[in-house]
Structure 1
Amino acid sequence: MRPTSRALRPVAIFAMTASLASCRSTQSPFERTELEIRELLRVQVDAWNRGDLEGFAQTYEKSPNLVFRGPSDLTTGWDAMLARYRRGYPDRASMGTLRFQDLECHILADGVAVAHGHWQLTRKDDSPSGYFAIVLQRGANGWRIVVDCSG
C-alpha cells in the first residue's frame, strides 16, 4: 500500500522543522558579546560620519562617572565629554570620516568588556589616526562605553 501525500505531510513538516533547527548557528556568549559591541561601535561610526555628535555620544554611559582620556587631558562625565567633542570638532568638515580597524574585544566579567583598536579620520587636508581602548559595561540600555582612552 502506498502512503498518500496527505499522510506524508506531517512527516515532511517535521523533517523540515528539524532540519532548519539544526542549521541555526549557536553562538557562544563571547561571540554574542563581540557582535553586540561591534554593533555599538558601528552605530558610533555611523553617527560620527553623519556629523551627529549627540548620536555618537549616546554610545557612552550617560553618567558623571564616565572617564575619557585623550592624548593630553582627562575628562570626567558625559556632559563634559560631549562638550570636549564639540570644542574639538565644531563643524562637519573638522569631523571628517571615521573608520575603526583591528578591533579586538575581550570579556573581563559578566557585563564588562574591553575593546581596542585603531581609529582614523579622513579629512580634506589631513588624516589623523591613533589607537583606542575602551571599557564597556552592559546595563539597562545595553552596552555603553564607561572608559575611553584614545590618542
Structure 2
Amino acid sequence: MKKVILFLIIFPFSFSLFAQKKSEILEVLARQQSNWNKGDIPAFMEDYWKSEELKFIGKSGVVKGWQATLDRYEKSYSNRDKMGTLEFDIQEVDFMSKTSAWVLGKWHLKRPVEGDIGGYFTLIFKKINGNWVVVSDHTS
C-alpha cells in the first residue's frame, strides 16, 4: 500500500519534469530557427556541442567537430538567398535519460531565388554544463 501511495505522489511530478525538459529542447530549436532567419550561422551553431566529438551527418557523409560543422554550414549557405527562411516542424521529442534526448523533425527553407528545399532531421541532445546542446545531427 505504501508503494501505491508513493507512486501516486511521485507519478504526476514525472510528467511535469518531462514537460519542462521538452520545453527546454523546443526553446533551443526555436532559438536556432530565429538565429538562422537572422542570417547568423555562428549564433545558430551556439546550440551545438563545441567539441571535436560533434557529428553532422548529411548527404555528403559525416562531418566531425564543431568548427568543421560551422565551416560546412557557411560554405553551403554562403549568402541570405541560399539560407532562405527556416521552418522546423518537430514531430517527436523522446528522452532517453535525464540528460539525453532524441528529436525527430522536418525542416524547410523558403528560398525565393534559390528554390525551396527541405527534409527530415534526427538530433541527439545532451545536457552538458546545464545546457541542452546538439551532439549529433543527421539531416536529409
What is the TM-score when the length of structure 2 is the normalising length?
Answer: 0.86
Distance 1:137 1:102 in 2: 17
List gaps (5 residues or longer) in structure 1: 1-25
Written as runs of structure 1 = structure 2, the 5 A alignment for 1:2-151 is 28-125=16-113, 126-151=115-140
Distance 2:22 2:75 in 1: 32
Higher-Rg structure is 1
Aligned residue pairs: how many?
126
List per-residue Cα deviations over 1:18-64 (Å, max 9, x = no partner): xxxxxxxx762210111000000000000000000000000101000
List gaps (5 residues or longer) in structure 2: 1-12
List per-residue Cα deviations over 1:74-110 (Å, max 9, x = no partner): 1000000000001100111110000011431000012
Instruction: Using the aligned pairs only, state the percent identity.
Output: 35
Distance 1:89 1:140 in 2: 30
Aligned-CA RMSD value? 1.2
Q: Is 2:93–2:104's contact at 8 Å kept on the other side of the alignment?
A: yes
Q: Secondary structure at the match of 1:47?
A: helix
Distance 1:82 1:103 in 2: 25
Higher strand share: 2
Distance 1:35 1:48 in 2: 20
Runs of 4+ in 1 over 3 A off after TM superposition: none
Distance 1:71 1:116 in 2: 17
What is the TM-score when the length of structure 1 is the normalising length?
Answer: 0.80
Q: CA deviation at 1:141?
A: 4.6
Match of 1:10 in 2: none
Distance 2:36 2:103 in 1: 18
Kindly provide the amino acid, as one letter, of the partner of residue 42 in structure 1: A
